[in-house]
Structure 1
Amino acid sequence: MSEQILCHACQAFLDGAREAANFDGSPPYKHHSSADSLKSALTLGCAICTSLFGAYATLGSTSWARDKPIEQPVVESWVFEFHIDCDDYFPNQILVLEDAAAKSGPCGKPIRGNSGGEDALAFFASQYDVCRTTHTTCPRWAPSSHFFPSRVIDVGCRGDAEVCLRVANTIDAPQPYLTLSHCWGQSQPFTLTNKTVAQLERGIPVVSLPQTFHDAILVTRRLNFRYLWIDSLCIFQDNLDDWHTEAGQMSDIYGNATCCIAATSAKDCNTGLFIDREPHALEPIKIKITESRSLSSTHLPPPGLYWASFRWTNYNAIDHAPLNQRAWVAQERYLSSRVMHFSREVLFWECFERFANEASSNGIPYKGGFHQFLPSISSLKTHVFGMVMGLSPARQAPNAEQVTPALLTPTCQFDYDRWKSFLGVYTQYLMTKEADCLVALSGIAQNIEMVTNDRFVAGLWRGNLLEDLCWQAEKYEIDRDRSSRPTTWRAPSWSWASLNIPLSTNYHWAYVSDTDKAEILDCLVDAEPSGQIKSASITLRCRLIPVAVRIETNEGFDRAFAHIGLRSRSSIEVEIDDWSTAASRTAGTNIWLLVLRDIFLSGDGGLLEGLVIVLSTNRPPSFERIGMFSHVAYPDSKSEVQDHPKLRAYEELLEKYKETEEKVVELV
């Protein structure tokens, strides 16, 4: 392979210009300072910029955000990270340089042609074969080896013109099947209804189905499977009872599937799985570095020939793809033991023991920023699976492949903070139907319930309920002029699911100990089999502190403060859930602080947190949450401990709590 043309910006950087431009300083080193500069590099045919532009498919100013040396088993490599400097968000791209003198070619295999070609699909076939025959942990994720969906699509054999709907009782014994995870998009795909069921059971031409369904059928056949589960074709879309029943079985449907086909890059069901790729644009290129202005630099490679390639990380190619912006897909990916990701440029395989793509079929290296961080869904899944692997049945029956729920005895505690991090991301996902907010989580909830013996109550966990009640909405996502509530009631006021805005994940504090200031007496939830809530309430023994709430506007930003008449004349800032009704809900005197937790922080600090509640407008004398408070008393220095105003207010608030009569209240 001949050496490639590089533009002045790329060559200058690699020859040490970045080192001379204060590598550790801020702002980051500018690679191209304007779109015109990047255009000129593309016109010149700069190999690096052409690859970078192909990865972004957009113009903008680029910066070198970070670079660092890494170590590989065979050859030393350098990793550089690009990002677009503009108002819109674009995921970073990673450039890897490998010493060409150490080997004849770069790490990884070449990527060829269409992503639906024989070579591409052979990658998935080989990955599945390795997983099935050598992986010992992957089979243990499935809830039950005897489960089979109520209905599946019988794809027949390769070359068949039609497929048909089959009911479970017409199939001999549970058979292996695949699932499809996809975006419906704006267009309504052909669906299972009372009018179409007879047609589907007789058989329907493959060519009449949306392209994504057509391609998924092709993949199922090529991998020698016969049955495929597709939500819109296997759940009656005009029968609400059937929908609730089937939606409540997502944990079993995806958890017991042999593999999940993920239409990762498809924005709708008509896009399809397969994409024509330009092999040359995906190949590593050979570049020459002539000199380094700082020979002692460890941040830049020494002069010589290098293989340069943009590696595709799961964070870029999968987590920011169209499919993974949908709320429903979170549980589809979580529940599946194996996933075949059809991303825009490269195919990815994901199971518990391997994350690989076509270029790195033995697994993508974890060093050097390839995995910038585990996405919250993968982090949660890995944590729960670690608990599954530590369950007592594995010791009682070493050869058993499945876990019996009745025998579950976790050997480690469930990490509720990991769940909160996941919710912070989940609540940003897109959802076509507001009512699906908790339904789209029911499969994950069932899985965690099975492992932990905890109980999922309207989006919170019974074993961590006092802390979970203190959730906080992301204040910068709140539109002060528009309601934060869904159009139709879907959750009690004390649940984060009662809002349509993301949750904040920036309110966690490292604490030494905590004391409960309220007691949960009862928690009642009436829900559909799907997980959709019909009614819910919590009964607590607690103390209510009456307050007056004042709303202040500072530089166009509203803030709310609760005044209790403290001797220090301090006020407690509160976070309002729905600012569109803040003025009416906080008017008058019927407002209370419900203190839930007293937390002792390191460094002589303290924190009181709880809810801001009012009498329910629909169910008096019950109460509703309208916000939360988290009063932190953390002095700036040791010398200020005794005189710190927030610490004095914290102590006086505790005194007020002790003076208040204990009572039993119901939250709805």
Structure 2
Amino acid sequence: METEMHSGTECQLCKLNIPRLDSRSLPMSLLLQSAEEGCRSCGTLEACIRTIVDPKRRHFDCYYLISNNTAVTSLSDPLICISLYLSYTDIKVQFCQVQETYRHASPGWVDVPDQTDSDESLAWAKERLESCIKHHNCSTASHSYCPTRVLDVSFGNDPDYIRVVDKNETYSRQYFALSHCWGKPDEMTTKLTVHTHEEYRTRGLVVESLPQTFKDAVQFTRNMGYQYLWIDSLCIIQRDYEKDSNDDKSMAEEDWKRESGKMCSVYQNSHLTLAAAWGRGCRDGLFYRQNIAKFQRTMPNGFSNFVFARETMDHDRLPYSPLFKRSWAFQERLLSPRTLYFSRIELVWSCKMDAKCQCGGDILSFDVPKVLSQEHIFQESNHIKVWHDLLIKYGLTTSSHGCDRLAAIEGLAKYLNPQMKRVYLAGLWQDSFWEDFMWTTSSGYGERTEQTEPPPVKNKWSSDRWLFPTWSWASIIGIPEWQDKIARVLVGGVMAYYEWNADTPYKLHLEGVVVLVRVSEPPFSTFGKGGEFYPDYDISLEGKGFIGREATIHCLRVSNQDGRLISVALHCVDETNQLYERIGIVYFDTEYYGVLPRWWTDGDRLEPMRVCLI
């Protein structure tokens, strides 16, 4: 927007006298009133805000002025560069006022394209990719890997069509992959199903029928000079709940199980991953066009000043984008050797050896591929902490389907497994079982992972009662946590068995001393000193998993290290078959409490027993 603003009066409101890096809060109503009364500076600020901020998002009462470079005495000062922080919004506006001759030397102004699909943005992306290929060791893990299906975006040289290509056809192994938020199910208007597979493979599908994010990804892949693109919903067979027969349903579920298990390889071997960071759904698109305000102001002396305003280049906001909150996207960005993020402000490049943004500023290390590529991380002494740290970050993400809780992280586990050389057990590792098993939830009260609508897709870890075994952190929705020092001194002959059985892999056999305690006794009750009980979920809620006040709890003694006692709280759900569920962790500090609790001392006269956790 370019408008000429003529000179006028300047109100006392503009005589800010703001020292460097100080701030002032001004009511928005006062700004509007001053602009209506003819103040040219207030009018310019008000016009900038209206140009940049969407009317639907203008729910703010005041703004803040921050001087970036020097003391400010008046908004009409030449070479002024400030930021407007709009309260009750997530928007910061960069405001720059300069004389024409200083346009490209204005302090604090970042001159980047206002569109992420501009020619300048495309050239920047090409330069980053070419530089990485030439100078970095970020190549894919296997040059022979081919996804089961990819999209040919140059099908017949017809820009209106793309085609699904199966693995048995010959195609280049250099492909792009898309990482995005699906959004609402009804927004996914075009997807690969049992019924559309043959049509998409032979006749192709119309680009215009695709959701906007897919169309943009096709366009960008073409503009970068590449032919093949991988998009999950067009390369993995999806359910069609209206048309699928029972056989169709089985075929789709089988394809999903097989292909979701290959997600690790798909992203690990992609030539470049396109990350739709700002979009909340597939309709939002990959690209973003930013509103930039440009005003020419005539000063009282006859000279002209130029005012520029745009949203501030804020790198810290990228990790809070919608894509970073999605569970599937977590492993996608960790495993991809190269990722190009399409944010609301600019493009951001991240590979195993470098991270850059379009504006050229410093960016925080928000990504982890560089960490994962360092083999020394997986030494015996450090691999446990690495895994726990990843799971804590993963716990901050969400998925639309509870059944994806483990599926969205198993690709990462497969990537780590060759380096860690350990047996994977539903989010835990056999060689570090007790360290992994002693998880708690950050809130102290998680929520059991359960999905009722649509019917959950069972996995190899599912029992008749739960989608995931209660001994796994995946059984709880929330952020898992682990103690800084994991107790490794086991007592009472405690041992962990994992007996692989294709029919019941969710079962875990433990052996140790078990003490019976009622829920009404400490530490489970709220009265008396008996230690600290960290329940996995709210056991008092009615429904599956409910435990009454007079119910009996089984405390499996685990560790006594430096006077700190640890037990696992179990609840028997099937006395006939002696099946138990984990319900929490019990801690007791002998130095703090003094007298040992009964839920520990009673075990001194008991023999170890074997229990089966589900």
Give the TM-score taking structure 2 as reference length.
Answer: 0.76
Identify the match of residue 15 of structure 1 among 3, 9, 19. 19
Contact 1:492–1:535 at 8 Å: present in 2 too? no
Distance of 1:65 and 1:573 partners within structure 2:
49
Cα pair 1:32 1:38 within 8 Å, conserved = no
Does structure 2 retain, via aligned residues, the 8 Å contact 1:561–1:571?
no
Counterparts in 2 of 1:464 and 1:561: CA distance versus 1, 3 Å: farther
Identity of aligned residues (%): 22
Flag the 1:628–1:156 CA change in 2: closer, same or farther, 3 A: same
Code of the aligned partner of 1:612? A
> Which of 172, 175, 178 is equivalent to 1:177?
175
Amino acid at match of 1:469: F
Q: 1:188 & 1:469 partners in 2: Cα distance?
A: 38
Aligned to 2:236: 235
Q: Distance in 1 between matches of 2:67 and 2:255?
A: 53
Written as runs of structure 1 = structure 2, the 5 A alignment for 1:428-443 is 428-443=396-411
Q: Over aligned residue pairs, what C-alpha RMSD do you find?
A: 4.4
Q: Partner residue of 1:627? A: 584
| Counterpart Cα distance in 2 of 1:663 and 1:465 | 19
TM alignment of 1:372-411, pairs within 5 A: 374-375=365-366, 378-379=367-368, 381-387=369-375, 390=376, 410-411=378-379
Match of 2:152 in 1: 154
Deviation string 1:173-204 (CA, Å, 9 cap, x unpaired) is x5200001112211233111121112211222
Q: What CA distance in whole angstroms lies between the structure 2 residues aligned with 1:193 and 1:514?
A: 50
Query: Which consecutive unaligned segments of at least 5 residues does structure 2 have?
Result: 36-41, 70-80, 240-251, 296-307, 457-465
Change (3 A) 1:582 1:273: closer
Conserved 8 A contact 1:551-1:561: yes
CA distance in structure 1 between the partners assigned to 2:65 and 2:539 by the alignment: 40
Tell me the SS of whatever aligns to 1:237: coil
- Aligned counterparts of 1:66 and 1:108: Cα–Cα separation in 2: 14
Matches within 5 A, 1:35-184: 36=29, 44-46=43-45, 50=49, 54=53, 57=57, 59-60=59-60, 104-106=105-107, 110-136=111-137, 138-139=138-139, 142-156=140-154, 160-172=159-171, 174-184=172-182
- Return the letter of the residue paired with 1:592: H
**By how many angstroms is 1:68 displaced?**
12
| Aligned residues of 2:94 and 2:310 also touching (Cα < 8 A) | yes
Cα-to-partner distance string for 1:510-546 (whole Å, 9 max, x where unaligned): 58x742336443224668xxxxx97412222211122
Matched, 1:225 2:232: no
SS of 2:489's partner is strand
> Which residue type is aligned with residue 133 of structure 1?
K
**How many Å separate the matches in 2 of 1:49 and 1:463?**
60
Cα separation, partners in 2 of 1:311 and 1:519, compared to 1, 3 Å:
farther
Q: Taking structure 1 as reference, are residues 440 and 109 closer, same or farther at Cα in structure 2, changes over 3 Å only?
A: same
Q: 2:263 aligns with which of 241, 250, 256?
A: 250
C-alpha displacement of 1:10:
9.7
Question: Residues 516 and 599 of structure 2 are in contact (CA less than 8 Å); yes or no, is this contact kept in structure 1?
Answer: no
Q: Distance in 2 between matches of 1:335 and 1:220?
A: 20
State how far apart, in whole Å, the 1-side matches of 2:431 and 2:11 are.
Answer: 59
Q: In 1, distance between residues paired with 2:569 and 2:206?
A: 58
User: How many Å separate the matches in 2 of 1:195 and 1:623?
Assistant: 44
Contact 1:545 1:656 in 2 (8 A): yes
Distance 2:611 2:400 in 1: 36
CA distance in 1, matches of 2:66, 2:417: 41
What is the match of residue 561 of structure 1?
525
Using the TM superposition, give the Cα deviation of residue 616 of structure 1 relative to its aligned residue in structure 2, in angstroms.
Answer: 2.4
Is 2:513 the partner of 1:543? Answer: yes
One-letter code aligned to 1:435: C
Determine the structure 1 residue equivalent to 2:74: none
Structure 2: how far apart are the matches of 1:666 and 1:329? 35
Pick one of 557, 573, 578 that aligns with 1:595: 557
Does the C-alpha gap of structure 1 residues 612 and 429 become closer, same or farther in structure 2, counting only changes over 3 Å?
same
The letter for the 1-side match of 2:483 is H
1:181 maps to amino acid:
S
Deviation at 1:580, TM superposition (A): 5.5
What is the distance in 2 between the residues matched to 1:96 and 1:540? 64
Could you give the per-residue CA deviations for residues 455-493 of structure 1, whole angstroms, max 9, x where no partner exists? Answer: 3211222232212222212337758xxx66444521111
SS in 1 for 2:129: helix
Following TM superposition, by how much is the alpha carbon of 1:272 offset from its aligned partner in structure 2, in angstroms? 1.4
Alignment of 1:218-617 (within 5 A): 218-238=219-239, 239-280=252-293, 312-316=313-317, 318-360=318-360, 364-365=361-362, 371=364, 374-375=365-366, 378-379=367-368, 381-387=369-375, 390=376, 410-411=378-379, 413-475=381-443, 485-487=450-452, 489-499=466-476, 501-505=477-481, 508-509=483-484, 514-517=488-491, 519-524=494-499, 535-550=505-520, 560-561=524-525, 570-579=529-538, 581=540, 584-588=546-550, 590-600=552-562, 606-617=563-574
Distance (Å, rounded) in 2 between the aligned partners of 1:421 and 1:66? 36
Separation in 2, partners of 1:458, 1:7 = 67
Question: Is the contact between residue 557 and residue 600 of structure 2 (CA under 8 Å) also seen in structure 1?
Answer: no
Q: Distance in 2 between matches of 1:310 and 1:200?
A: 41
Aligned to 1:419, what secondary structure does the other structure show?
helix
Matched residue of 1:550: which SS? coil
Deviations 1:615-638 (A, max 9, x none): 1248731211122223345xxxxx
Q: Are the aligned partners of 2:555 and 2:599 in contact in 1 as well (CA < 8 Å)?
A: no
Change (3 A) 1:536 1:143: farther
For structure 1, list consecutive stretches of 5 or more residues without a partner in the other structure.
19-28, 70-78, 284-306, 392-409, 528-532, 553-558, 564-568, 601-605, 634-640
CA distance in 2, matches of 1:66, 1:455: 55
Residues in 2 aligned to 1:597 and 1:13: alpha-carbon distance in whole angstroms: 64
Rate the CA distance shift 1:39–1:129 in 2: closer, same or farther, 3 A.
Answer: farther
Q: Which amino acid aligns with 1:571?
A: G
Give the AA of the match of 1:276: R
Please name the residue that 1:667 is paired with.
Answer: 613
* CA shift digits 1:571-593 (9 cap, x unpaired): 23312233264574244353121
**Residue 446 of structure 1: CA displacement?**
0.7
- Residue 22 of structure 1 is matched in structure 2 by none
CA distance in 2, matches of 1:38, 1:608: 63
The corresponding residue for 2:39 is none
For residues 224 and 153 of structure 2, the distance between their equivalents in structure 1, rounded to whole angstroms, comes to 12
SS in structure 1 opposite 2:557? strand
CA distance in 1, matches of 2:385, 2:402: 25
The change in CA–CA distance for 1:152 and 1:39 in structure 2 (over 3 A counts) is farther
Would you say the 8 A contact 1:265–1:343 is kept in 2? yes
Distance 1:13 1:63, change over 3 A: farther
The number of equivalent residue pairs is 547
- Separation of aligned partners in 1, 2:133 and 2:282: 30
Structure 1 residue identity aligned to 2:362: P
* In 1, Cα distance between equivalents of 2:14 and 2:587: 49
Cα 1:123/1:159, change in 2 over 3 Å: farther
What one-letter code is carried by the residue in structure 1 that aligns with 2:174? P
